[in-house]
Amino acid sequence: MYYYDYNATMSSLNACENASALSVGLENEQTLVNDQTVSESANSAYIYNFNPPFAGYVEVIVTSTSPNTYVQITGEFYLPKSPNSGWTYYSGDLPVGTSGTVYFPVVPGQVTISIGNTDPNGATVTFTIIYYS
């Protein structure tokens, strides 16, 4: 009896999980920056700005010569007919070290992605930025 109940429950949960995954599936993928390499001086950042037309998320893939590398994402959203009624969001510093990937949600408006380092010797950073909507 318990085995049957467990299997029935797990089957139901799996079906719900699959349905949920399909309902939030994002079909569009746009590579904004592909394997770009930059040399950053100490305590500096590369900044990339874009304006996503739809809500979604960004994926930032980073490799670096410094273990002190981070990604920071900020955004601004304003209602089209009420430019003073929007809001902002901020990821804080998301550490990626010498290799890492960051996923972060975005909404329509201005988005700024900073890839920086706090290494006193600077760093060479290679990154890819992909937007999904």
* pLDDT at residue 26, rounded to an integer: 73
Q: Provide the residue range defining the domain that includes 113.
A: 26-132
Let me know if residue 62 belongs to a domain: yes
Confidence class for position 17, pLDDT limits 50, 70, 90: very low
The domain total for the chain is 1
Contact by Cβ (8 Å): 55, 105: yes
pLDDT at residue 23 is higher than 70 = no
110 strand-pairing partners: 76
Let me know if residue 97 belongs to a domain: yes
Let me know if residue 20 belongs to a domain: no
- Is 0.85 surpassed by the pTM of this model? no
Let me know if residue 10 belongs to a domain: no
Average pLDDT across the chain, whole number = 85
CATH of the domain at 113: 2.60.120.510
* pLDDT at residue 118, rounded to an integer: 96
pLDDT-wise least confident of 40-44, 73-77, 86-90, 121-125: 86-90
Contact by Cβ (8 Å): 42, 122: yes
Q: 23-26 long-range CB contacts below 8 Å, 24 or more apart?
A: 26/56, 26/57, 26/132, 26/133
Let me know if residue 16 belongs to a domain: no
